[in-house]
A and B are shown apart, each in its own frame.
Chain A
């Protein structure tokens, strides 16, 4: 019998009522109902139009962080997130990314494929550094995109000065040197194109905006972001 990828409990493939009503194609879920319920899907609830976070009471639209970005960031950029970065998502990330359990990409890669298969944009994953590639053996973002046509346009610049994120204040973070560079031979793929940048987690929004700047400078007409979690 198949097991839930996350909790290893045996999977009974139950046909859900919603699938019968909506007549959506049957999907073999990679995780059990319990594990799936612990992820908070942001699709059906109000979110910040700037970064995709869940709207909470008294939150402005866009949220304060995003308003500040609008003042300091020269380009048009907004992000959409699939799930809240809650405890369940943190546990998933720990296992997938930090423990390096590459097979766990299957928890989301099917769903991401279904969502992106009609996307007309050029899909560009955020890259990981060569060190990570060596030790972890995979890029967690392209793992999630395994069933999607994407274009490797970016790479991490060699030899970045390592400063821990938390040790930098916001201003310093924004002014930090661009961590990415274009793979020159791929540049033609983005000129005059709409781009969808994909990352695993949107935390401060700095990383993905660095990448967006680079793409705008290289001639992209629009750049949006999609992250698994916010």
Chain B
């Protein structure tokens, strides 16, 4: 239930969710949640709806696409209040005292310029470049100037990781974290960190919107999330896209001059990206499918455990988790490990166990590929040639290694039956970055 008018600033909330005394507030602007002129269109998520799917027996229509955010239908009105930028002026709100490398500093200045000129920009930085720190000065400028800042990512994990870092960097500024599983109630705050899904609840709210890991959902497959971004930012707001693995749609936007780009090919600690080692392994798929692993992989795992070298094992499918876990248990490798997948109800707890070094390794599906960092780990990818691993996903997986300056290197071991196109492309991308970095 929405009780306070500030909860509607720059938002779009179904009218039925407003408390009775709020409904009469004259500042509230109402819009139909679904428009019926020129075909059915959901105003909240931008989807053109199929009549046959959307129709209800009471002669109304509902949106079946954004229904996870609570149903909107042709009887629903969305309530908004014009974003008033009602923030206390804070002088020099940045409490972070860290230092940027020369290259990071250049990017940070670029970010400020993008924000000041309300531009659309892509910051293309390798995994572990220290993207978040490069944002701080730009956000500092925005907050000082009373602007509303949003940071969105398609991944919950990324948001959860970002939140404490932003809170620590801007101690004096209220920061709110929004995602589907969070219990934290919504609060009008100058800095909002949220999943791109949560952006569906915003309307012309942000003067500055940062979209992290933008390539997770490619443009072509997810028009809804891109609509959400467009809707959540003010019409003249700045948009900053961050990625380590741009996709075709971003390249296209760049070549059409809809997007400017800056580039950072080296990690914050100045070391190159770890390159991948591809191990062709006969019958790997059949062995895994029958709950076994080749001796050489088991030996490698046992060795890593014995060396107290912590690591992640990536597998393509949820069903592989148990099979690989069983193969390792059956081989009597004495190790503490868990399996975790995206919809795992204990996912957050298991990741925390790994982070607290209470586990030697995690076996996981691609979900941990981004945002989640464990210092000093190695990475093993089983069935790396499975089509589920896109080149971008493989780059991200490899990017989990060598993040920390204490151990800027590490092993990235791909096990596969054949060296797929995606593996080759991943290999090329990493080597290209390293060549560019070498020229700096």
Residues of A within 8 A of B (CB): 95, 99-103, 133-134, 137-139, 142-143
Contacts and interface: CB of A to CB of B under 8 A. Distances in A.
A138 B64 contact: no
User: Closest 6 CB pairs between A and B?
Assistant: A137-B56, A100-B71, A137-B58, A138-B57, A103-B53, A101-B67
Nearest to A100: B71
Contact residues on B (Cβ < 8 Å of other chain), bracket: 10 to 19
A155 to B, nearest CB: 15
Contact of A137 (B53, B62, B70): B62
B71 A138 contact: no
Nearest to A139: B57
A142 B68 CA distance: 23
B67 A99 contact: yes
A103 B64 contact: yes
A137 B73 contact: yes
B60 interface: yes
Contacts of A139: 57
Given A100-B71, A101-B71, A137-B73, A142 B57 contact: yes
A138 B70 contact: no
Contacts of A99: 67-68, 70-71
A100 B71 CA distance: 7
Interface in B21-72: 53-58, 60, 62, 64, 67-68, 70-71
A100 B75 CA distance: 13
Contacts of A103: 53-54, 64
B222 to A, nearest CB: 12
A38 to B, nearest CB: 12
A103 B53 CA distance: 6
Nearest to B73: A137
A137 B54 CA distance: 12
12 contacts: A99-B71, A100-B62, A100-B67, A100-B71, A100-B73, A102-B56, A102-B57, A103-B53, A103-B54, A137-B58, A137-B60, A138-B57
A137 B71 CA distance: 11
Contacts of B56: 102, 137-138
Interface of B: 53-58, 60, 62, 64, 67-68, 70-71, 73, 75
A68 to B, nearest CB: 35
A86 to B, nearest CB: 15
Nearest to B63: A101
B59 to A, nearest CB: 9
Given A99-B70, A100-B71, A101-B67, A138 B58 contact: yes
B224 to A, nearest CB: 12
A95 B64 CA distance: 11
B431 to A, nearest CB: 33
A23 B71 CA distance: 41
Nearest to B60: A137
Nearest to A138: B57
A9 to B, nearest CB: 11
A103 B67 CA distance: 11
Nearest to A134: B58
A138 B54 CA distance: 12
A102 B64 CA distance: 8
A137 B60 CA distance: 8
Contacts of A133: 58
Contact of B64 (A101, A142, A143): A101
Contacts of B57: 102, 137-139, 142-143
Contacts of A102: 55-57, 62
Given A103-B64, A137-B58, A138-B56, 14 more contacts: A99-B70, A99-B71, A100-B67, A100-B71, A100-B73, A101-B67, A101-B71, A102-B55, A102-B57, A103-B53, A133-B58, A134-B58, A137-B57, A137-B73
Nearest to A135: B16
Nearest to A5: B64
A75 to B, nearest CB: 31
Nearest to A133: B58
A50 to B, nearest CB: 33
A28 to B, nearest CB: 16
A99 B73 CA distance: 12
Contacts of A138: 56-58
Contacts of B53: 103
A139 B54 CA distance: 15
B225 to A, nearest CB: 14
B279 to A, nearest CB: 30
Nearest to B64: A103
Contacts of B75: 137
